[in-house]
Chain A
Amino acid sequence: MRILGLYNYWIFVFLMMVGFYILISRRNLVQEILGLTIFQTAVFIFYISMGSIVGAEPPTLAPGVEGIVYANPLPHVLILTAIVVGVSTMAVALALVVRIKEAYGTIEGDEIADLDTASEA
């Protein structure tokens, strides 16, 4: 039962592998970005789920509130930072895809490689 109780890690690994597989198997540039995003989101789930405790309360500091079990807020902070980093990366990636489309007329990796070898030869 302990293995089933660790379901958050199973979800993390599953999403991570799905995202990574999409990333390496797809040639379309936008699909690669999608794979990367799913991969990064899996990591966010990993962090957030590690900070949660069953039956925990938000960390409050108030007179009369003593000895509560609170969920760790630090992973949430770390993930906010990581989300921002992920969004910036995705923005740059999409901007590059727009420029690639303007320059090559396609966003399929195979066709871009063919166009490159054709122009080089």
Chain B
Amino acid sequence: MSEHLPILLVVVPLAAAAITAVLRSGRIAWLVTLVTSWAVLGISVSLLVQVLRDGSIRYVLGGWPPPWGIEYSIDSLSAFVLVLLGGIAAIITPFALRSIERELERGLVHFHYSALLLCLAGLLGMTCTGDVFNLFVFLEISSISAYTLIAMGPDRRALHAAFRYLIMGSVGATFIVIGIGMLYMMTGSLNMADLAELIPPERNRTISVALAFLTVGIGLKLALFPLHLWLPDAYTFAPSAVTAFLAATATKVAVYVLARFLFTVFGMGFTFEVMALDRILIPLCLLGILAGSMRAIHQKNVKRMLAYSSVAQIGYVVLGLSLVSLTGLTAGILHLFNHALMKGSLFLAMGCIMYQVGSVRLDDMRGLGRSMPWTMAAFVIGGLSLIGVPLTVGFISKWYLVLGAVEQGRWIVAGVVLLGSLLAVIYIWRVVEVAYFEEASGDEPVREAPISLLIPTWALVLANLYFGIDATLTSGIASGAARLLMGGG
């Protein structure tokens, strides 16, 4: 049984998605989702332990040996992302019980869980696989179910947001297919490890164009500035639990895919020395950090503010990757994990507010510091993490990022990273000021969110604090993964 864990990781959520689609009851669908997500967490943790102990796992599907068959290849970076996915799913599913019941129509609840499980299966498959076309298939599975999840939002603007995300996401996926096609044309292989060997190290026009198409395509999925235009609307109008799930997982797996392609398939030498991709990525990331943070400051809708903040934070992650040093890569991989914790806890806090208040506009949040103390405290800690205050995970990632920039003498980069933190202070302070220093609107008294919503929120908040105080586990895994990416590629 244990040697089939990699494929079970994908098959179990897929089967559960089929089961929940035919169930009528939202509660039983939730139960199936809960059991599945905890099973996924268990499997991914045991895979991580196995990878850290024994090295990468290779699982061959159907007995067809690579490069003809599809293989699943799990190394420390994949295992890290898998644990993140399992953990987020396991924490958000208990939250979703009451939150989704309130926000969605009754007949749609079990479809929501079905789509959530499909999205999870797609994301897990993307992370495990060692075949580039298989990656595209799982990417589309997770994307199409994400479009559906977003469209289930209570506001009618969710429909148009999902449509725009669909159009842009499909363009991105098609670009990825073009890139894969060009790689296949030049090498005859679809297996990542095989491609790494077969791609010629000198400059070749088809391979260069393939790199360009793949980077832009993955950048669209990743919401890399300026390809981020779908993200604010999609995150704002999706149901609260869905926003938290997608914000913490979808873009992170896209970053993983980018790292896989740039470092493992194409190799560091080709990507950063021959093609000088870092010269394009670094300015785009810096612009994303500044533009995202500045747009966040003006927003009246707090979810939209957090969405723009996500664009900035993705800039940090890809910035870490494009520094192409051990510290830089460690920073990028670490921030991938940490940002998922941060944004997950912030969006779950917004979900609590949506549940009790019925709105996520800043004007409607007056005085919540007194009427919803636990929720606002969770928001404040998440916000402090976003800023990068010591004792939170945000500080650890910012520390490594600035260290990586200073090591290379990139003072502008370090300056922009710190400037982004200052801008984050501004937009977090706006919310804190309204919640704690203004009087409540006074119509009806708002009560604290129910305990089933608070426990998952605080689970993520405490994870924020724990990994901020004792970062040895996460930074150890991240630097091991970074070493693997740089050494192997």
- Where the two chains meet, the residues of A that have a C-beta atom closer than 8 Å to any C-beta of B are 20, 23, 29, 32-33, 36, 39-40, 43, 46-47, 50, 74-75, 78, 81-82, 85, 88-89, 92-93, 96-97, 99-100, 103-104, 109, 112, 116
A to B CB contacts below 8 Å, 21 in the list: A20-B171, A23-B171, A32-B167, A46-B181, A47-B177, A50-B184, A75-B181, A78-B133, A81-B133, A81-B137, A82-B136, A85-B137, A85-B173, A89-B166, A92-B166, A96-B151, A96-B159, A96-B162, A96-B163, A103-B159, A109-B160
Contact present for B162 and A50 (CB under 8 Å): no
Binds A, one of B51-59, B140-148, B402-410: B140-148
Q: Which of chain B's residues 164-183 have a Cβ closer than 8 Å to chain A?
A: 166-167, 170-171, 173-174, 177-178, 181
Q: Looking at the assembled complex, report how far the CB atom of A112 sits from the nearest CB atom of chain B, in whole angstroms.
A: 6
Beyond contacts A46-B178, A88-B140: 13 other A-B pairs, Cβ-Cβ < 8 A, are A33-B167, A40-B174, A75-B181, A78-B133, A81-B133, A85-B140, A85-B173, A89-B144, A89-B170, A92-B148, A92-B166, A93-B163, A96-B166
Cα A23 to Cα B168 in complex, Å, equals 10
Q: Which of chain B's residues 121-147 have a Cβ closer than 8 Å to chain A?
A: 133, 136-137, 140, 144, 147
Cα A109 to Cα B159 in complex, Å, equals 12
Contact present for A36 and B159 (CB under 8 Å): no
Partner of A43, one of B156, B174, B185: B174
Number of residues of chain B lying within 8 A (CB) of chain A: 25
The residue of chain A having its C-beta at the shortest distance from the C-beta of B169 within the complex is A89
Cα A92 to Cα B170 in complex, Å, equals 12
Contact present for A29 and B174 (CB under 8 Å): no
CB-CB < 8 A to B167: which residues of A?
A: 23, 32-33, 36, 93
Partner of B185, one of A50, A88, A103: A50
The residue of chain A having its C-beta at the shortest distance from the C-beta of B301 within the complex is A120
Cα A47 to Cα B144 in complex, Å, equals 23
Cα A75 to Cα B181 in complex, Å, equals 9
Cα A62 to Cα B137 in complex, Å, equals 33
Q: Looking at the assembled complex, report how far the CB atom of B149 sits from the nearest CB atom of chain A, in whole angstroms.
A: 11
Say if the beta carbon of B102 comes within 8 Å of chain A: no
Cα A74 to Cα B184 in complex, Å, equals 10
Partner of B174, one of A39, A93, A103, A104: A39
Say if the beta carbon of B295 comes within 8 Å of chain A: no
Partner of A96, one of B136, B147, B157, B184: B147
CB-CB < 8 A to A88: which residues of B?
A: 140, 144
Contact present for B181 and A43 (CB under 8 Å): yes
Cα A92 to Cα B136 in complex, Å, equals 18
Q: Looking at the assembled complex, report how far the CB atom of B337 sits from the nearest CB atom of chain A, in whole angstroms.
A: 29
Contact present for A116 and B181 (CB under 8 Å): no
Cα A109 to Cα B185 in complex, Å, equals 38
CB-CB < 8 A to A100: which residues of B?
A: 159-160, 163
CB-CB < 8 A to B171: which residues of A?
A: 20, 23, 36, 39
Q: Which of chain B's residues 211-234 have a Cβ closer than 8 Å to chain A?
A: none
The residue of chain A having its C-beta at the shortest distance from the C-beta of B175 within the complex is A43
Instruction: Report if A92-B156 is in contact (Cβ < 8 Å); known contacts: A46-B181, A50-B181.
Output: no
Cα A62 to Cα B166 in complex, Å, equals 46
Instruction: Report if A29-B178 is in contact (Cβ < 8 Å); known contacts: A92-B144, A92-B148.
Output: no
Closest 9 CB pairs of A and B: A103-B156, A85-B140, A96-B163, A100-B159, A50-B185, A47-B181, A99-B159, A89-B170, A93-B166
Cα A110 to Cα B178 in complex, Å, equals 31
Of the candidates B136, B148, B174, the one having the most CB atoms from chain A within 10 angstroms of its own CB is B174
CB-CB < 8 A to A92: which residues of B?
A: 144, 147-148, 166
Contact present for A40 and B159 (CB under 8 Å): no
Cα A97 to Cα B163 in complex, Å, equals 8
Contact present for B156 and A104 (CB under 8 Å): yes
Contact present for B163 and A29 (CB under 8 Å): yes
Cα A29 to Cα B166 in complex, Å, equals 11
Cα A92 to Cα B159 in complex, Å, equals 11
Contact with A along B40-60 (1 / 0, CB 8 A): 000000000000000000000
Q: Looking at the assembled complex, report how far the CB atom of A94 sits from the nearest CB atom of chain B, in whole angstroms.
A: 10
CB-CB < 8 A to B178: which residues of A?
A: 43, 46
The residue of chain B having its C-beta at the shortest distance from the C-beta of A82 within the complex is B177
Contact present for B151 and A99 (CB under 8 Å): yes
CB-CB < 8 A to B185: which residues of A?
A: 50
Cα A95 to Cα B163 in complex, Å, equals 10
The residue of chain B having its C-beta at the shortest distance from the C-beta of A103 within the complex is B156
Cα A46 to Cα B174 in complex, Å, equals 12
Cα A79 to Cα B159 in complex, Å, equals 29
CB-CB < 8 A to A96: which residues of B?
A: 147, 151, 159, 162-163, 166
Cα A93 to Cα B163 in complex, Å, equals 7
CB-CB < 8 A to A109: which residues of B?
A: 160
Q: Looking at the assembled complex, report how far the CB atom of A26 sits from the nearest CB atom of chain B, in whole angstroms.
A: 11
Cα A36 to Cα B164 in complex, Å, equals 12
Cα A82 to Cα B184 in complex, Å, equals 15
Q: Looking at the assembled complex, report how far the CB atom of A44 sits from the nearest CB atom of chain B, in whole angstroms.
A: 9
Cα A104 to Cα B184 in complex, Å, equals 44
Contact present for B140 and A116 (CB under 8 Å): no
Q: Looking at the assembled complex, report how far the CB atom of A51 sits from the nearest CB atom of chain B, in whole angstroms.
A: 9
Partner of A36, one of B160, B162, B170: B170
Cα A32 to Cα B168 in complex, Å, equals 11
CB-CB < 8 A to A74: which residues of B?
A: 184
Of the candidates A88, A92, A112, the one having the most CB atoms from chain B within 10 angstroms of its own CB is A92
Cα A100 to Cα B153 in complex, Å, equals 13
Contact present for B140 and A89 (CB under 8 Å): yes
CB-CB < 8 A to A97: which residues of B?
A: 163
